[in-house]
Amino acid sequence: MAEIKLANITKRWGSFVGVQSFDLTIEDKEFLVLLGPSGCGKTTTMRMIAGLEDPTEGEIHIGDRVVNDLDPKDRDVAMVFQSYGLYPNMDVYENIRFPLKVRKVEGDHDAMVRRAAEMVELTEFLHRKPAALSGGQRQRVALARAIVRQPQVFLMDEPLSNLDAKLRVSTRAQLKNLSHELQVTTIYVTHDQIEAMTLADRVVVMEKGIVQQVGTPTEIYDNPANTFVASFIGSPAMNLMEGQIEGGVFRCDHVEIGGLDTAHSGPAILGFRAEDAAVAPDGAGQITAPIYSLELLGDAVMVTVRTGGALVAVKADKDYRANIGDPVSFSVPASICHLFDQGSGERLAR
């Protein structure tokens, strides 16, 4: 069993706090994603689990052991880094086999290597050197090298960030399938919210060393805890507008949305997803403003207006046609709206 428990983990360097009071249990066989912008503490958290950094406070449990004082080699974790870390003088076969040799693993190394290579579709490349491989193939060698060890825990630090967009999509699908097949507890660090949404059983959203929200991708997408999470999750990000609520009606420049289920009055931030609203015919919507930009996405047209200093986007049908500067109206039902406190950014109780 490879349940991981982080008990009040804090990491400081002098007065700078890299991770603050991180408290979480990662279930056995769970695929957990640490998500956030650069400098949010996600990689530092992973490095503490791996034993590459020591926590200033708190305890790290892997299975039934407290591992704070264990060396990385004794924690039974395998890491896959952003840089592939392959040995250029060894072929793919020997790169994959290397952890077995170093750890003096007994058994049929050839069968272990070929099974790991088959899982990442590298069987036909086993006798090539890394220099003769593409970026995607090199990343798969790094994955196979981690798989062959059969560790308790996989730790993956932005493994897809060096790949181009097409390769990221195909390798992401491979990772999803591998996770299902291997059933090994995995912690995955990324700044890419699409990777988080597609791969994770649960997502931990972090900012400035502090956990902002923990939940399934659906929970975080549908019910963001604050404006940071709302603006970080989703492509495009959630539309957020500052205004005033009086009697269940939100108002700001070019905007009037009524029927909101809230007792709150005064300043507030209203948010909604681009795909949840629609272009309204004949100016009958709750937002009416000149078109700021139009972007053809293939399956839709993104129509953007400026309201009170904020850019607000709505997805229209792919055959929608208009010009920049034309008036447009958006239909924004109250039921799709999210409300946040204007001061703290926290979600308002409904």
Residue 350 lies in a domain: no
Residues 44 and 182 reside in one and the same domain: yes
Looking at the domain assignment, is residue 222 inside a domain? yes
Question: DSSP E strands: which ranges in 128-216?
Answer: 153-157, 185-190, 202-207, 210-215
DSSP state of 235: T
In a domain, 313, yes or no: yes
Q: Nearest-CA neighbor of 83 among 163, 29, 166, 4?
A: 163
What are the pLDDT digits (tens) for 235-264?
Answer: 889 999 999 999 999 999 999 999 998 989
Count of domains in the chain? 2
pTM of the model: 0.89
The residue ranges of the chain whose pLDDT is under 70 are: 1, 350
With respect to residue 349, please indicate whether it lies within any of the assigned structural domains. Answer: no
Report the CATH number that the domain containing residue 258 is assigned in CATH.
2.40.50.140
Residues 90 and 161 in one domain: yes
**Cα separation, 245 vs 194, whole angstroms:** 33
The pLDDT score that the predictor gives to residue 1 is 58
Q: Are residues 212 and 63 in the same domain?
A: yes
- Among left, alpha and beta (phi > 0; psi -120 to 50; other), residue 16 is beta
Residue 345 forms part of a structural domain? no
Looking at the fold, whether 254 and 119 belong to one and the same domain comes out as: no
Q: What is the DSSP string of 71-106?
A: -GGGS-EEEE-SS----TTS-HHHHHHHHHHHTT--
- Answer whether the bond into residue 281 is a cis peptide, omega within 30°: no
Instruction: Answer with the one of 228, 252, 272 that is the final residue of a domain.
Output: 228
CATH of the domain at 162: 3.40.50.300
Residue linked to tokens 């999750």: 233
Q: Ramachandran region of residue 248, left (φ > 0), alpha (ψ -120 to 50) or beta?
A: left
Quick one: pLDDT at residue 349?
76
Do 220 and 242 fall into the same domain? no
Residue where a domain stops, chosen among 195, 228, 261: 228
| Residues in the chain, total | 350
Q: Which pLDDT value is given to residue 181? A: 85
Tokens for 103, please give them: 């750890």
Domain with 35 in it: 4-228
Check residue 238 and report its DSSP letter: P
Model pLDDT for residues 31-61, shown as the tens digit of each residue: 999 999 999 999 999 999 999 999 999 999 9
- Neighbouring residues of 180: CB distance < 8 A, sequence distance ≥ 6: none
Three-class DSSP category at 309: coil
Residue burial 303-332, b: 16+ Cβ < 10 Å; e: rest = bbbebeebebbbbbeeebeeeeeeebbbeb
